[in-house]
């Protein structure tokens, strides 16, 4: 599943591929922002860790976990 995070004063968004089974990532982000935590820690599917300043987060978009089909369907 992909998650896109828009950051203030940045023309690009941060796209992170999360491992399967992390459907509650939006609630984790919301708790970090509303709880006044200065940073948000996320880990992607490859094990890379991200440390994001919560005061710079503008929006968060969560993609679907379903795989896209390619080609002709019958």
Q: Under 8 Å CB-to-CB from 10, ≥6 apart: which residues?
A: 56
- Tell me the C-alpha to C-alpha distance, in Å, between residue 19 and each of 25, 48, 74: 11, 11, 31
Please check whether residue 23 lies inside any domain of the structure. Answer: yes
Please check whether residue 68 lies inside any domain of the structure. Answer: no
Q: Please, where are the H alpha helices in 1-74? A: 25-34
**Which of left, alpha, beta for 50 (phi over 0: left; psi -120 to 50: alpha)?**
beta
Task: Write down the pLDDT at residue 15.
Answer: 93
d(CA 42, CA 39): 10
Please check whether residue 69 lies inside any domain of the structure. Answer: no
Please check whether residue 49 lies inside any domain of the structure. Answer: yes
If one counts the domains in the chain, the total is 1
* pLDDT tens, N- to C-terminus, the chain (74 residues): 889 999 999 999 999 998 877 778 888 889 999 998 999 999 998 999 999 999 999 999 988 655 666 777 66
Q: Could you list the residue range(s) of the whole structural domain that residue 58 is in?
A: 2-62
Please check whether residue 70 lies inside any domain of the structure. Answer: no
């Amino acid at each position: 599943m992909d998650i896109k995070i828009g950051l203030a004063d940045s023309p690009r968004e941060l796209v992170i591929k999360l491992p399967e089974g992390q459907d509650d990532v939006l609630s984790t982000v919301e708790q970090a922002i509303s709880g006044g935590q200065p940073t948000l820690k996320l880990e992607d599917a490859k094990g890379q860790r991200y440390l994001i300043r919560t005061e710079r987060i503008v929006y968060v978009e969560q993609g679907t976990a379903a795989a896209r089909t390619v080609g002709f369907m019958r």
